[in-house]
Structure 1
Amino acid sequence: MSSNVETVRVELGDRSYDILIGEGLLDRAGAEIAARLPGIRAAVVTDETVAGLHLPKLQASLRAAGIDHATVVLPPGETTKSYSHLQTVAEAVIEARLERGDAVIALGGGVVGDLAGFAAGIVRRGMRFVQVPTTLLAQVDSSVGGKTGINSPQGKNLVGVFHQPALVLADTGVLDTLVDREFRAGYAEVAKYGLIDRPDFFEWLEANRTHVFAGGPARIRAIAESCRAKAAVVAADEREEAGARALLNLGHTFGHALEKAVRYDPARLVHGEGVSIGMALAHRFSVREGLCSGQDAGRAEAHLKAAGLPTRISEIPGPQPTVPDLMAAIGQDKKVSRGRLTFILTHGIGQSFVARDVERQAVERFLADELAEG
């Protein structure tokens, strides 16, 4: 293993797997997959944008390792996480005559990973799955932990299964092909890990953010630390039953509501931007509820702003959402239990917690004030 590649282990008993993080992993993908899943055939699922950038390199690597494979190329964008595209992938895998012991390989961002993983989890009642994430957001968040799924017209990620990958290959070099906006959006999830329960990591990010954006060792370290944080939570609470894994949704309850309000239009809002605004909202709501100091909330917001991320609803272009629209989406959040609202709130930097039975009227008043300030 090259010295510039870090390995993070996700400990889940006989379903444990490695996350490899470093430059040049796409060239070695076939060898790494063949070493862990000898004799497999595969279906590579990607989108049109990623296919043009990275598919030939992955295909050459698979051929060099003797891995026979089919390829499914989908349209890019959040709307691809749909029933119709799930059917497309499932039927393509079946048509390729892949067996249960074969693998689905996701080459792309979170949309491709979620959709391909869901297909792998249900075709032949569960096939092997490999994540090759090509965005920062996917490398530090959606490719790790086994959450897969598609969107429903009623909300995001409401249909899916837990299906752990056999391997995650995070090639940090491919991130150089991202447009600045996509990299910044992924960085929101990196900052999230510091804000949840790693104040030292957040402080390191404050000092090293520009180096992370520039690439090299700082980028590898930031991604590896993010993966370690998520791996630890997943190992302790794989299916979000004990509550610990819910902390990973810091900012997501507000963020998902904002995404639904703009109808998942990426011209207006992408996921990481929604998470950034959501984390800022969660900190300001915590201040309002007397849980967190304004200084800590301001520090969190300042860091997100410095990274070029939005922190206010008013920064979303186009018509502003209404409080009823946002509350309807929040009511469909997966953390809602028997109608009771659950949010991830905070006592300060690195001190997030699960807040159950949050008063609906308090959230409505807060959102009304936030929209009025815009």
Structure 2
Amino acid sequence: MRTVETRLRYIPYRRRDIVAMCLAEARLTEGQADQFQAMAEQLQRKLHLHFHARQEALKESYLAVNPQARLMKSGLLSESPDDLKLQLGELLEQANYEPVTEADLAAALQEASLFKVRLQVDFSRFKEVLLYSRGQSQRTETLKLLWGLYRKPVTFTHYDNVALYLKVPPEEGEEGERVYLKLFENVPKADIEMLFPETQVRMRTIDKLLIGVPALVGGGVMLTTKLGATLLLVGSLLGFWLGMHAQPVTLDKAALLALLAGLGTLAGFIWKQVKNFRTRKLTFVQALTRNLYFKNVANNASVIFQLVDEAEEEECKETLLAYYFLLAAGEPLSAKTLDEQIERWFSQRWQYRLDFEISDALAKLERLGLARRDNGNGWQACPLEQALAVLA
């Protein structure tokens, strides 16, 4: 079960869905509806050209620090890796990602994991760490405990998407720093540490007890039954060597065989417990690997392509929504009134709490020539015929 408790900038619908949702209100005539659809397509094409240029600039900035770069460099062109962080931050902002602060990360690391594994991250290995999330909500799931005999409902914070920026110092024999980019989906906040590379799996207290208690009980039984004679012989030898008694201990062939057999049994028991510990830890590592396989969306340069596409979609949806509601109103609206109308429409019609970025949307409309201020500081959409001509 998913519940959105906070208002988010992220619009969780496709651009085509937004167009269909607007037209479903039937506030436009049939001719206007066709023109609005055509305008939406032209707007998308115009924004696509803009974001393609952004993509090329990011590719150039990332080339110098990309750990997977395969192309040779001529040395004739200048590179500006210092711009990468700034450009990437602006792109994430346009894609409506929210920064995960150090306090948020520290709280997430302290929360009980839903993955049933205790993980440890060595942050000293990273020179810089940046986390961004998008689509935060509260979810409730039922966890199976005690081998499925007990079920417990757990409510947790869930991220639809998480973007990770990691800058690491050069390793021995390498030149320059490297920057790793990662993009994940469907990540519980309590398990965010599993997204970092080389995360160490640690046994939880309950897992140690599940191995340790049977080992202690089994060891006690073995000592009192199978190793009783061996322990008595070893104790007698130690007592004689330490001068605790003067009675010498005779080691005949039978006693020596019993001693070796007992020590072999003890060594086998210890090795079995160590193997059990390693097997259980390996099981956790395999489960972690399988889980990450389905959460990983993109790595390094491919993250840039994914984020550019998402930013393009978000910018287009925001512009379309602001234009449609101004157009449907048929009269000038203040920024506040327009913002309230859009957010109320999402809340009442689509049961989604949206924090619409009205100032950014109006700035885009004005920059594209799709809306203008009237004398009373209200906003009015330009006619559809004019919008089609401006975007052509």
What TM-score range do you get, normalising by the shorter chain?
under 0.3
Task: Tell me which structure has the larger Cα radius of gyration.
Answer: 2
TM-score, with length taken from structure 1:
0.22
TM-score, with length taken from structure 2:
0.22
